[in-house]
Amino acid sequence: MLTVRFIRENKEKVKANISYKGQDEKLAWVDDLLQLDEQWRKDKKSLDDLRHERNEVSESINKAKKAGKDAKALLAQAKELPKTIKCLEEAADKAQQKIKEYLFGIPNIVHPDVPQGKDETENVERKAWGEQKTGKVKNHVELAESLDVADFDASALVAGNGFYYLKKDLALLNQALIRFAVDFMVEKGYEYTEAPLMVRRNIIDGVMSFKEMDDMIYKVEGEDLYLIGTSEHSLIGQFIDQTLRKEDLPIKLASYSVCFRKEIGSHGINEKGLWRTHQFNKVEQVIICTPEQSWELFDELLANAEDICQALGLPYRVAEMCTGDLGDLKARQYDVEVWRPTIEDYGEIMSCSNLTAAQATRLNIKYVDKKGDRDYCHTLNNTALATSRIMVGILENFQQPDGSVIIPEALRQHMGRKERITPT
């Protein structure tokens, strides 16, 4: 989220960014916001003057009474002032609420290198790694069921579509992936944290857009609590209303959590399998830093994701989101996509985002330097590893003619040195 001050001082830049994002319908918002802000500041000054006047009138009434003078005129004035103040307060609150709505809808300033495009079809491939397996292979559902390591029918009976039972070696593979990713992030210098799986509405409002919230987040009925769609929500939310010391930044965090997503509007949620589910396991990497550190650390997050894919031997590509596919809070985003031989295309498994100061502004997360100067932090995040989609990549890319699946060497230490998942 941009601040009113930034928009006031960079009106044309904000408008140019809106147009670059292909959201010309929001151009009028900037002018409306600035008019509201100007009126709000006038009302604020009037309120301050009226409150000062009210204090002076109260003091004059007390003096008049002590002196035995007639205070009727002053009492009448004192009676009317609260009504005037209340009207102005209501007008100021209404303007402030509308300003907030505009601020939550105006997109963040994108990085100058973000490609312009209308939707995901115009995202740009930046890099590819590994050999693309081709030829006829079993899809991961058929393969997992033939190996008796997953049950999607039982989970549909118990919880509905979008859930799964993992069994035997696939369940162990799931745990091996979590252990591998956690160890990897800790070795990279990230502080491991296990965070709450539920957060309050003000945290959700701070970390994501309204559209994302409606499509993704489950609400706990009767409570001001929401199930997290990623541990990023909890990890960043813990710093709400804090001012951090500049010398303590960057803060690098890694977290494992179960995640929950409604996946409204997504294709394929009614299909069996692990690719798109309502519940899944994920290791996340998050950074809170200064603006000067931001883009170098963005590259670091992406490098971590690539190193994980390469360690697992999974062929992948890096795609950059164009303006039409880039979320409004994000300044730049790369997706890491695994090669899927069953569809002969890539599928997203990791999403690396720099939100610059957008989340920190919403959550009021600042840093202060030794001179006492303050500014908003930058926040960045990337998936280290989501086990369900990585398992799809492993099952599809490493299946063998005899029906077995090669276990990536990096995971074998967490699976009793077992080399294959074999039929039983």
Which sequence positions are flagged as catalytic? 261, 276, 348, 351, 389
CA–CA separation, 69 and 402 (whole Å): 106
The candidate with the shortest Cα–Cα distance to 181, out of 276, 282, 258, is 282
Q: Which helix (H) or strand (E) holds 56?
A: helix 27-66
The C-alpha atoms of residue 23 and residue 237 are separated, in whole angstroms, by: 29
CA–CA dist 339, 123 (Å, integer): 16
Count of CB atoms situated within 10 Å of the CB of 344:
11
- As a whole number of angstroms, the distance between CA 115 and CA 21 comes to 10
Sequence-separated (6 or more) residues with CB below 8 Å from residue 390: 177, 312, 314, 338, 349
SS3 category, 354: strand
Task: Determine the longest span between alpha carbons in the chain, in angstroms.
Answer: 107
What is d(CA 131, CA 197) in angstroms, rounded to the nearest whole number?
37
Rounded Cα gap, residues 326 and 22, in angstroms: 11
Q: Are strands 198-199 and 226-227 parallel, antiparallel or unpaired?
A: antiparallel
- Can you list the alpha helix ranges (DSSP code H) found in 67-139? 72-105
Task: Report residue 228 as tokens.
Answer: 């997290």
* Structure tokens given for 293: 């550190």
Place of tokens 């396991």: 281
Question: Half-sphere exposure (CA, 13 Å, Cβ side) for 103?
Answer: 23
